[in-house]
Amino acid sequence: MTLFLTVLHTLRYFYTASSDVPNFPEFVVVGYVDDVQIIHYDNNSRTAVPKQDWMKNITDQQFWERQTRRAMDDQQMFMNNLETLKQSFNQTGGVHVYQRISGCQWDDETGDVDGYNQYGYDGEDFISLNLTSEKWITANQQAFITKLKWDSNKAMMSQLKHYHTQYCPEWLKKYVNAGRSSLMRTDLPSIQLLQRTPSSPVTCHATGFYPRDAVMFWRKDQEKVLEGVDHGEMLPNHDGSFQMSVDLNISLIRAEDWSRYDCVFQLKGVEEDLTVTLDKSVILSNWRKSDGGVVAGAVVGGLLLLLLLLGAVSGFFLWRKRSAGFKRANTSDTSSSSASEIELGPVRSREG
């Protein structure tokens, strides 16, 4: 088994301001290095805290006090901007989310660096920074006045470019060096087949793997199956690992052909595939008992509920890491179809 050491590293900060979300802070900042969370702040705790032991080793108390003060300032600006957006769209209630993703990436093989800074509202792209042209790109007409204001602020643009192409990569290199043993690890998943009822699709569920660069699919006679297959989203686990699932519609599969189907999991850097053959005897289900006589449905129900809960939490951060931007959120209130142009507060770079 040959392990692959990632050469493209990322440092990303996610800022989320929200309204009317039950049991969720109004403002949250989380930072990630290579998909490993390193920092957390929310308006309930009002304290920025490290999420990895190695972060404590390379920072001091003054660093975290500065992080907290900066996050509290960001909180006020983000909540003000959220209210501005709601008023502009004539929205009076319901769930609304205003987000920013900011950070950089560094290729430790070529030395190339790049940065990104983008904003979204209710799951839609709003405005993003183009570092090459040093211009802000609008995703809709409501952001045009904000674009004009930010484009004309040359001092802010210079500061942002310095942060994203120099300052941020310097911190990223520092973090990668400090957390190398954790960030470079490779963890294989446990894989199970799940089924709610005899006619339900069979879910192949993998959990506990790291890094997130993985694919999973169904295969028949060594050929990938496309028809009747539904891929779930990749979700984070509480311990920093990941989980994913893929469903297979078995309604058109003859019983004698089940053994021709395999669920295949591939993790970047690991040469050997992990496979599970479609077999009734290994499926955890809601309609049959395991060999131990315990109703497996309770286990299946718990696993599926866990998936839903994790999906609700991770799905709240509405940016797809593998796509161009945000995805639409489910919101519920009365809003105008023709919003006015919006002038948002200024953009700030951050420490670390």
Q: What is the CATH number of the domain that holds 37?
A: 3.30.500.10
**DSSP one-letter code for 263:** E
Q: Quick one: average pLDDT of 48-73? A: 95
CB 186 within 8 A of CB 270: yes
**Domain match, 90 and 205 both:** no
pLDDT value at 22 more than 90: no
Rounded to 10 degrees, the C-alpha dihedral 62/63/68/71 comes to: 150
**Domain match, 211 and 175 both:** no
Rounded to whole angstroms, how far apart are CA atoms 150 and 343? 10
The DSSP secondary structure of 104-166, one letter per residue, reads EEEETTT--EEEEEEEEETTEEEEEEETTTTEEEESSGGGHHHHHHHHH-HHHHHHHHHIIII
CB 39 within 8 A of CB 31: yes
pLDDT band at 252 (very low <50, low <70, confident <90, very high): confident
How many domains is the chain partitioned into structurally? 2
Q: Quick one: average pLDDT of 274-296? A: 70
In a domain, 333, yes or no: no
Residue 123's pLDDT is 84
User: Among 5-9, 146-150, 199-203, where is mean pLDDT lowest?
Assistant: 5-9
SS3 call for 299: helix
pLDDT band at 287 (very low <50, low <70, confident <90, very high): low
Q: What's the CATH code of the domain at 255?
A: 2.60.40.10
Rounded to whole angstroms, how far apart are CA atoms 263 and 18? 39
Q: Which domain holds residue 74?
A: 8-183
pLDDT tens per residue, range 178-237 = 998 888 888 999 999 999 888 899 999 999 999 888 999 999 999 999 999 999 988 888
Residue 313's pLDDT is 40
Residue with the larger pLDDT of the pair 350 and 28: 28
Rounded to whole angstroms, how far apart are CA atoms 21 and 42? 14
**Domain match, 96 and 228 both:** no
Single residue among 183, 215, 243 that ends a domain in this structure: 183
Single residue among 162, 183, 204 that ends a domain in this structure: 183
Q: Quick one: average pLDDT of 100-104? A: 95
Kind and range of the H or E element at 168? helix 168-178
Rounded to whole angstroms, how far apart are CA atoms 26 and 81? 13
**Domain match, 173 and 210 both:** no
Rounded to whole angstroms, how far apart are CA atoms 351 and 12? 12
Residue 329's pLDDT is 44
Question: If we measure between CA atoms, which residue out of 236, 333, 334, 312 comes closest to residue 23?
Answer: 312
Residue with the larger pLDDT of the pair 95 and 68: 68
Tokens representing 100 are 């920013």
Kind and range of the H or E element at 11? strand 8-19
**Domain match, 116 and 250 both:** no
CB 241 within 8 A of CB 188: no
Tokens representing 244 are 């994913």
Q: What CA–CA distances, in Å, run from 3 to 184, 239, 274?
A: 10, 21, 15
Residue 235 β-bridge partners: 243
**Domain match, 161 and 206 both:** no
Residue with the larger pLDDT of the pair 159 and 109: 159
In a domain, 87, yes or no: yes
Residue 103 β-bridge partners: 12, 116
Question: If we measure between CA atoms, which residue out of 188, 182, 214 comes closest to residue 32?
Answer: 182
**Domain match, 175 and 196 both:** no
In a domain, 319, yes or no: no
In a domain, 223, yes or no: yes
Rounded to whole angstroms, how far apart are CA atoms 158 and 151? 11
Vertex 345, ends 343 and 349: CA angle to 5°?
A: 135
**Domain match, 82 and 207 both:** no
**DSSP one-letter code for 34:** T
**Domain match, 31 and 59 both:** yes
**Domain match, 124 and 267 both:** no
In a domain, 331, yes or no: no
User: Among 83-92, 157-166, 254-263, 309-318, where is mean pLDDT lowest?
Assistant: 309-318
Q: What CA–CA distances, in Å, run from 120 to 16, 36, 42, 217?
A: 10, 23, 19, 31
In a domain, 348, yes or no: no
**DSSP one-letter code for 167:** I
| Residue matched to tokens 């919101």 | 331
SS3 call for 212: coil
**Domain match, 128 and 32 both:** yes
**DSSP one-letter code for 266:** E
Single residue among 183, 199, 232 that ends a domain in this structure: 183
In a domain, 343, yes or no: no
pLDDT tens per residue, range 300-343 = 444 444 444 443 344 344 444 434 455 544 444 444 444 566 77
In a domain, 13, yes or no: yes
**Domain match, 213 and 164 both:** no
